[in-house]
Amino acid sequence: MINFKINGHSVTAERGETIINVARREDIYIPTMCYLEKTTPCASCRLCSVEVEGMDGFVLACNTPPTEGINIITDSDVLETERTNIMRMYDVNHPLECGVCDKSGECDLQNKTLEFNVGVQQFAAKDQPRKIENWGLINYDPSLCILCEKCTHVCNEVIGDDALDLLFGGYNSKVIPKNSDVLDCTFCGECIAVCPVGALISSDFQYSANSWELSKVPATCAHCSAGCALEYEVKHAGIDSNGTESIYRVKNNFEYATLCGAGRFGFDYDNKATKDEAAFVKAVEAVSKAKAIRFSSLITNEEAMILKALKEKLGLKLFNRDARHMQLFMDAYASVSGTKHYSADLESLKASDAIIVIGSRIATDNPGVRYAMTTAARHNGAKVVYMHPLEDALLQNTVTQFVKYEVGTEEGVLALLAQTLIVDQELTQREQAFIDTLDEGYLSAETNVGDDELELMKKQFLRSKSKTLVIGSDILAHERVENIARLVALIEKYGDFKVLVVPTEVNTLGVSLIADLDIDDYSENVVGYNAKGNFVISALEGADLDVAAFNQQEGTVVSIDKRLLPTNVALGFEGYTLNDIANALGVFAENTIDYTSNLPEKSGFKAVGFDDLGNFYSAKGVDERGYVLEGVKVHRGGHPEEVAELPEFNGAVIYHANPVLQFNAFTATTEQLENDNNLYGSASFAAAARLSDGDAVSFVYAGETVRRIFKLDNTLKGTVALHPTFDLGLNVRSDYRFETVNFKRESK
Amino acid sequence: MMSLEQFENRNVSESGYYKVDIESYPETGWEKAKQVFSRAIRGELFVGLWVVMREMIKFDIHTVQYPKEKLPVGPRYRAVHEMQRLWESGTERCIGCGLCEKICISDCIRMDTKIDENNRKVVSEYTINLGRCIFCGYCAEVCPELAIVHGGRYENTSEQRAHYTEYDDMLTPFDMALKGEVPEYPGFGAVTPHEDERVKSTPLAY
């Protein structure tokens, strides 16, 4: 604790806090142009200069920690002159195109120019020729750029792409793609979000609307379980729109939260269908006669509640594979840990200094986790161990150690991890016996994880204070999920780890906490709700009854943070909803959101109505969205069982993993996101599967034939190919993601 | 100083009123008949008829032959909008800033904009719903580019309302602009005279 004064007010700073942190906490205004809360200070604008009483010159509030007893002055004539001069410099030759600039109305430079009353340009500099760059989804206009460096900082420190760099050249400085002619990155668009002027802008949005015309709808991203906060910006769809609206862009609270490109650019997946009464009558009949409803986890908690009520009323079965896997994992985990929910969240992951990721191609499965890990690595120097059969080039800047294991041997890997990470702990007799009887030689040989690798990991973690184990969906869908879960809980209990489970889909966790699920026996007479079935009710094309897509609904989801998050209607929907079907079948509620306050309290939900849920970050960065689920204590009594014989995957193995920014059938329908559905494999995979670059192949996936073009990818290693499933519509099956397939060669 | 006194004096005869000399009304039947007769048979009727006849023969007619002829309207008159082009190049003046759309109090202006191949903002569609427009002139006043102005076309009859909302109809024809036939616009929405004297010069490094 450091006691000092700002403008005579006594304040205290925590260790590591800078002057600006304290000032903002105490509501004392210091102007900035380049400061970004979530990165290290850029210190490029010098607008946050403050005076220290009794000292000559200025100090920068953004990167100076206070010392005991000083008095900071944030506002004086000298400072005002200094800051006004800085603004005058910024405005030299800044194009006077506010009239057409997309940033006009929400521009930091505009605001500060008016704040410091810079009305005329008093001096000049010879302008340079500056070329506008088109980088795919992002356009860059160097003449508007004020070189604040927010974009480069966020790209490197938060995202981890490290794709932007500053070309220093005095007045000719500009932002350039790092080590490349064109921008080669994951296109998260966070650089667009943080840009204080109109220099970096979404190419799709550019010049299509003015910021003041757009109405903002706070919502939750519907593409993965990170549950990122976003704002849909909505306006009429144009002159010939006849009253319909459309989403023009997505923005996020970039100061405290981060959004990936799927959320930012993949927003136009709304269902434009209208009311079809005949289809509705058929749907009601189909549900009333159905044996079961199969549904995906791309639904809200309220819809899950309706399905649960329908099950109770009509005696149906409910099928949902990924949520059932989650249930199996969490139940087994809870039987050892004693708590219903896993212990970590994204905030605690950001604060970690040691991270193990296992069983997920995490950078594409859940970018939110990736960004948290990047932040941890850059800001805490976290050691990140990535364990997977396939290396991931996207993580190369973040991961400190890659541990490759054989496909299918996750149980063995976790057993080895338990043995390595649990040291000098007082285990129960049964647990000690489990550890002692592990056949290390067998496990090591089958998993291909060597002693030296584990020792290296242990050594890296020696000084770590806050450790997190991230569990991916490969493990949730594993045959031995229950025993793996017990091993995970054991590591958490004795290895001083927090556990973060990455739910497979948007609301896998929510559904798993609400619905009572049955084993999917692939029987006939199944109604599919956003899933495959004999009668399909879906927001996707080709449905028997159209329902609203996620951005056309209000409701809640449970994110990876175990947080209940509300989402709102961005675009209207004319047709029917699941609630209408339920009402017709005697499960009555006026609105779908009437179910929000009835979510099961035994799973940690609170009896809070939808309209009482917040959906914003406070001015000081506190996440006020929804609420965090209550911790629930459960009975302990589970013990890890003996590790089963580890399976072997021989032949041509493919891994169902989507490319960057693609997650599911909804992202596949969006306009801006790239639809790359090729099968990618390394040269050694090509040799093993006897394929060459450009070959057309077909194979059976989830009961249907899939045709793909094989492409060689030199960044891949090993004998597993990457197979995208996002474009397969409803035919996606949430099973173990590695699969041995028989390729059939197709004519080109 | 005003006081109440002058209002309190109710004697009107002191303030210069006088009686009008009015002929007494005819009372008997004979007197009435005499008045009718003397008023009806006077030559004044023919005086009027002669004036009309005289002017007709002279063919010096001052009536405007509307709709063949039209009177010029004042430059500040606010009739149907026009979209201007730049004087020399003929480029459309509108930059698509959207201020007219924003300021319009009857919400009758709407525009669609997009990015063109030169990375510039262009207007792809522009409509004014003249059925709603109240011709207040805000759009022309707010326009930073003298692009939208009120012209002098005050006739609002057509078979369809839509005829007035076409951007191309409002836009000055391109060939006219190229021939230099578009005069510097003096009407509503134009900058005030001598505006250039008030502009401050910006230092330039070249």
The CATH number covering residue A669 comes to 2.40.40.20
Cα distance from A292 to chain B (closest Cα, Å)?
48
The CATH number covering residue A221 comes to 3.30.70.20
What pLDDT digit, counting tens, does each position of A538-566 carry? Answer: 999 889 999 999 999 999 999 999 999 99
Q: Give the whole-angstrom CA distance, residue A679 versus residue A722.
A: 6
Residues of chain A positioned with their CB less than 8 A from the CB of B121? 100, 207
Q: Are residues A448 and A372 in the same domain?
A: yes
What lies within 8 Å, CB to CB, of A80 at 6+ separation is A116
A195 against B6, higher pLDDT: A195
Q: Give the whole-angstrom CA distance, residue A30 versus residue A50.
A: 8
In B91-177, beta strands by DSSP E: 109-115, 121-128, 148-150
B13 against A9, higher pLDDT: A9
SS3 category, A230:
strand
- Per-residue CA distances from A271 to A274, A330, A545, A551, B21 (Å): 9, 34, 11, 9, 89
Q: Which of A534, A529, A585 is nearest to A319 (CA)?
A: A529
| Percent composition of chain B: helix, strand, coil (DSSP 3-state, to 5) | 30, 10, 60
Determine the pLDDT at residue A593. Answer: 95
Q: Provide the token pair at A642.
A: 């003996």
Q: Over 70: is that where the pLDDT of A449 sits?
A: yes
Q: Give the whole-angstrom CA distance, residue A457 versus residue A465.
A: 15
- Per-residue CA distances from A400 to A9, A39, A384, A457, B146 (Å): 45, 21, 5, 9, 61
**CB neighbours (10 Å) of residue A76?**
12
- Per-residue CA distances from B61 to A393, A670, B47, B64, B65 (Å): 91, 71, 19, 9, 10
* Cβ separation A207–B114 shorter than 8 A: yes
CATH class of the region B81-191? alpha beta
Determine the pLDDT at residue A167. Answer: 94
* Buried b / exposed e along A145-159 (16+ C-beta atoms within 10 A): bbbbbbbbbbbbbbb
Q: Are residues A395 and A482 in the same domain?
A: yes
* Cβ separation A99–B97 shorter than 8 A: yes
Span of A301-315, A430-444, A506-520, B175-189 with lowest mean pLDDT: B175-189
Nearest to B121 among A100, A123, A132 (CB): A100
Span of A210-214, A612-616, B131-135 with lowest mean pLDDT: B131-135
Mean pLDDT of A13-36: 94
Report chain A's terminal Cα–Cα distance, integer Å: 70
Q: Could you tell me if A192 and A175 are in contact, meaning their C-beta atoms sit under 8 angstroms apart?
A: no
Cα distance from A102 to chain B (closest Cα, Å)?
9
Span of A52-66, A525-539, A703-717, B49-63 with lowest mean pLDDT: B49-63
What is the average pLDDT value for chain B, to the nearest integer? Answer: 83
- Per-residue CA distances from A547 to A91, A503, A714, B56, B93 (Å): 51, 24, 42, 79, 46
Q: Give the whole-angstrom CA distance, residue A558 versus residue A551.
A: 16
Determine the pLDDT at residue B165. Answer: 63
In a domain, A666, yes or no: yes
In a domain, A36, yes or no: yes
Q: Which of A241, A265, A289 is the last residue of a domain?
A: A265
Nearest to A120 among B119, B121, B200 (CB): B200
Mean pLDDT of A131-154: 95
Residues of chain A positioned with their CB less than 8 A from the CB of B110? 236, 239
Q: Are residues A28 and A157 in the same domain?
A: no
In a domain, A724, yes or no: yes
Q: Are residues A50 and A142 in the same domain?
A: no
pLDDT > 70: what percent of chain B? 90
Q: Which of A240, A265, A290 is the last residue of a domain?
A: A265
Q: Give the whole-angstrom CA distance, residue A161 versus residue A178.
A: 10
**pLDDT band for position B63 (cuts 50, 70, 90):** confident
Determine the pLDDT at residue B14. Answer: 65
Domain count, chain A: 4
In a domain, A448, yes or no: yes
Determine the pLDDT at residue A81. Answer: 95
Interface test with A, best of B94, B108, B111, B119 (most A CBs within 10 A): B119
Q: Which of B111, B70, B116 is nearest to B94 (CA)?
A: B111
What is the average pLDDT value for chain A, to the nearest integer? Answer: 93
Strand A229-236 relative to strand A245-251, pairing: antiparallel
Q: Which of A195, A202, A474, A213 is nearest to A329 (CA)?
A: A474
- Structural domain boundaries in chain B: 29-58, 81-191
Domain that holds residue A421: 329-501
Q: Are residues A16 and A159 in the same domain?
A: no
Q: Give the whole-angstrom CA distance, residue A314 versus residue A317.
A: 9
What pLDDT digit, counting tens, does each position of A357-407 carry? Answer: 999 999 999 999 999 999 999 999 999 999 999 999 999 989 999 999 999
Q: Is A380 exposed, middle or buried (0-12, 13-18, 19+ CB in 10 A)?
A: middle
Mean pLDDT of A601-620: 94
Determine the pLDDT at residue B164. Answer: 64
Q: Are residues A49 and A138 in the same domain?
A: no
Q: Could you tell me if A337 and A492 are in contact, meaning their C-beta atoms sit under 8 angstroms apart?
A: yes
Span of A229-238, A261-270, A618-627, B76-85 with lowest mean pLDDT: B76-85
Q: Which of A532, A68, A55, A565 is nearest to A301 (CA)?
A: A565
Q: Give the whole-angstrom CA distance, residue A13 versus residue A23.
A: 10
Q: Which of A51, A75, A99 is the last residue of a domain?
A: A75
Cα distance from B61 to chain A (closest Cα, Å)?
49
Mean pLDDT of A116-138: 90
B59 against A182, higher pLDDT: A182
What pLDDT digit, counting tens, does each position of B117-159 carry? Answer: 989 999 988 888 888 889 999 999 999 988 898 888 888 777 8
SS3 category, B3:
coil
Determine the pLDDT at residue B125. Answer: 86
Determine the pLDDT at residue B15. Answer: 64
**CB neighbours (10 Å) of residue B39?**
9
**CB neighbours (10 Å) of residue A27?**
8
* Cβ separation A239–B98 shorter than 8 A: no
Nearest to A125 among B97, B125, B205 (CB): B205
